[in-house]
Amino acid sequence: MAVSAPAPARRRRRRPDPVLLAFLVPAAVVYLWFVLWPTLQAFQYSVTDWDGLAADFGWLGLENYQNLATNDSVFRKAFGNSLKFMLVVVIGQTVLSLALAVALLRSSRVSVFLRALFFFPTVLSSVSVAFIWSFVYDPTFGLANRLLMAVGLGSLQQPWLGDQAMAIYYLAIVQIWFHAGQMMVVYIAGLQQIPQDLYDAAGLDGAGRWQRFRFITFPLLQSATIIVVAYTTIQSFKAFDLIISSTGGGPNHATEILATLIYSTAFRNFEMGYAAAQSVIFMLLIAVITILQRRAVSLASGGSDR
């Protein structure tokens, strides 16, 4: 009668090396002190009337949130502007950066030069970009109106950033110009990871250029697209310095976004508790939109939404 071999002993779980854990302590302390703790304080101050200067404050409960939802028309306008700005920037910048990456994938001298040219605006500061485009959009001496006049399209001259209905979209164009080259690099890195054999096999099966892009390129760029869309979304919501340096949120709050409104509420009106309530809603908005965008990109790429 054969004797069965003894069951293998369970592998002991390897305990983390205390020395390795010690290296995490400085980063953990910085994160807790400068990220987690201020976030918790924002929730605390959002239910108070603290002015940011006094040592004491009163508790208001949900009064700040109720006022934001029902009585604050400027907040609702800034909320809508933030969504408009985000949608235009995310769609425009994602499409443009992907198109540039596909067009400039080959490593020729011309492609390398054009990559550097399109990437160059990224190294500029937001304030510099704001001043450059303020000159371009100047209704009297600006480059945009002068070019329209030079080509015989003077009837199309615009006040640009003075147009309350369109100013937020003109600033979105600036944001796209500013960061499209940076996202192009992300897409180029993703395209370089796709095996050429897949395209060769698809070509033998008679797949056209669009079919190869739809069924090979775009699905395999899912990770890169998630990075681009998430980063672009966060950057569009954080376009504080661009807008504050170009229009200051005007005219008549036409370019006011949540970031500039929170700044004005906290440091101009000294309503720190009210600004904290605005920032909490702002944070939740970014989280919700980022999650929805990730699921949308996954579904569009043919993957799971989980």
pLDDT digit string, tens, across residues 29-42: 999 999 889 889 89
Mean local confidence (pLDDT), 183-200: 91
Q: What confidence category does residue 4 fall into, taking pLDDT thresholds of 50, 70 and 90?
A: low
Residue 53, pLDDT score = 85
Give the DSSP letter string of 63-111.
HHHHHHHHT-HHHHHHHHHHHHHHHHHHHHHHHHHHHHHHHT-S--HHH
Cα 32 versus chain centre, distance: 24
**Under CATH, which number does the domain 81-300 receive?**
1.10.3720.10
- Residue 9: is its pLDDT beyond 70? no
Residue 204, pLDDT score = 83
**Which residue ranges make up each domain of the chain?**
81-300
Distance between CA 130 and CA 241 in Å, rounded?
A: 8
Residue 15, pLDDT score = 75
pTM of structure: 0.84
CA distances from 208 to 56, 110, 199, 204, 262 (A): 69, 26, 10, 10, 50
Peptide bond into 38 cis (omega under 30): no
pLDDT digit string, tens, across residues 132-172: 999 999 998 899 999 999 998 888 899 999 999 999 999 99
Would you say 187 and 228 are in contact if contact means Cβ atoms under 8 Å apart?
A: yes
